Amino acid sequence: MNVNRKVLTLDEFTIQQLRDFPHATGELSNLLRDIGLAAKRVNVEVNKAGLVDILGDAGAVNVQGEDVKKLDIFANNQLVGVLRHGISCAGIGSEELDDVVIFDDEVSNNSKYVCLFDPLDGSGNIDVNVSIGTIFGIYRRISERGKACERADFLQPGIRQIAAGYVVYGSSTMMVYATRRGVNGFTLDPSIGEFTLSHPNIRCPENGKIYSVNHGNFFQYPENIQRYIEVCQKKDKTNGGPYTQRYIGSMVADVHRNLIKGGLFMYPPTRDKPGGKLRLLYECNPFAFIVEVAGGRATDGKQRILEIQPVELHQRSPLFIGSTNMMTELETVGNF
């Protein structure tokens, strides 16, 4: 095996980052390592998704609902398991669980952080071999350490995230995470089973040419959003275009692509879903944090995503996120 020592593993990287903080306890590195471990286990199952042992009989008619559920729940259980048994997390909130889970044991009660996650994002894409992901946001608890954490720890505005990240199970598997210091991407090297630093200091290009939105909902969007989509469609060489439309239906994959290449992802309000579809706490907030640290922006059409005061674990929010100049263009055209 040829392990290139110039490439840092996720663990090596997070531990190196600590050197600049003499008082750091290493709990955040532990937490990121725990999430990485869960992600590796999920990755193994995602890669087997076409095989009978996870999907059941391939000939079964009603595959989708059941299959999706299996991997969603598997991913959820892996995350809850590693975080519960790790030393850094006092409790979690998950898309798959109605309520927050407060670990309330001696080790967890002394932990600094709580974690919110979407264990498997884009789950409708599992059985068609399209990229899916995991999304997470980490907060320092505001409740007193030594005691069980509390609901209020999970309902902090996204601006208070200490770190946020995602894993994309794609043509390769990658974990990207942000702290206030920067955004870094790690690709899973299957030959050694380690996430290795492949995309140091990711910056979201200021300009982009990709817009990502579900066109099927076009006539359900507010008029100002329709207007902006039409502007995107009419772009040509004379005015900074042409733009390209890309929308896969897994926000992890869609936002990841736009973060790297430059672009704008939208999930606007629709007539049926006036509050949007995406969940504020474990979909919008982590991505808003990552994209802002990378130099981009994220709003709900009215205010910065990261400043919204959450009131409920599963609340939804419209989302507009991406390259700064495209965000400005959206706001100008849409008269936000």
Q: How far apart are CA 63 and CA 250, in angstroms?
A: 19
* Binding region for Mn ion (CB under 5 A): 95, 118, 120-121
Interface residue with ligand AHG among 34, 45, 118, 194 (CB under 6 A) is 118
Q: Which is nearer to ligand AHG, 27 or 121 (CB)?
A: 121
d(Cα 306, Cα 321) in Å, to the nearest integer? 12
Q: Which stretch binds ligand AHG (CB under 6 A): 22-30, 119-127, 306-314, 320-328?
A: 119-127
With the C-alpha atoms ordered 220, 221, 227, 231, is the resulting torsion angle positive or negative?
negative
Q: How far is the CB of 152 from ligand AHG (least distance, A)?
A: 25
Residue 305 contacts by C-beta under 8 Å, 6 or more apart in sequence? Answer: 158, 280, 284, 285, 288, 298, 299, 317, 319, 321
Nearer to Mn ion, 153 or 254 (CB): 254
**Between 114 and 251, whose beta carbon lies closer to ligand AHG?**
251
User: 200: which residues sit within 8 A by CB, 6+ positions away?
Assistant: 184, 185
d(CA 158, CA 297): 13
Nearer to Mn ion (CB atom), residue 8 or residue 176: 176
CB of 268 to Mn ion, least distance (A): 17
Residue 251 is a binding residue for ligand AHG (CB under 6 A)? yes
Q: CB burial class (10 A; 0-12, 13-18, 19+) of residue 217?
A: middle
Burial 261-295 (b: 16+ CB within 10 A, else e): ebbbbbbbbbeeeeebbbbbbbbbbbbbbbbbbbe
Of residues 199 and 246, the one with the C-beta less far from ligand AHG: 246
Residues 201-230 interacting with ligand AHG (rule: CB under 6 A): 214
Region 265-284 residues binding ligand AHG, contact defined as CB under 6 A = 277
Q: Is 94 in the site for ligand AHG (CB under 6 A)?
A: no
The entry of ligand AHG, Mn ion, none that residue 17 binds, CB within 5 to 8 Å by partner kind = none
Q: Which of 115, 123, 199 is nearest to 164 (CA)?
A: 115
121 lines the binding site for ligand AHG (CB under 6 A): yes
Window contacting ligand AHG (CB under 6 A); options: 1-9, 21-29, 78-86, 245-253: 245-253
Q: Pick the stretch among 7-15, 18-26, 122-130, 230-238 that binds ligand AHG (CB under 6 A).
A: 122-130
The binding site for ligand AHG (CB under 6 A) comprises 95, 118, 121-124, 214, 249-251, 277
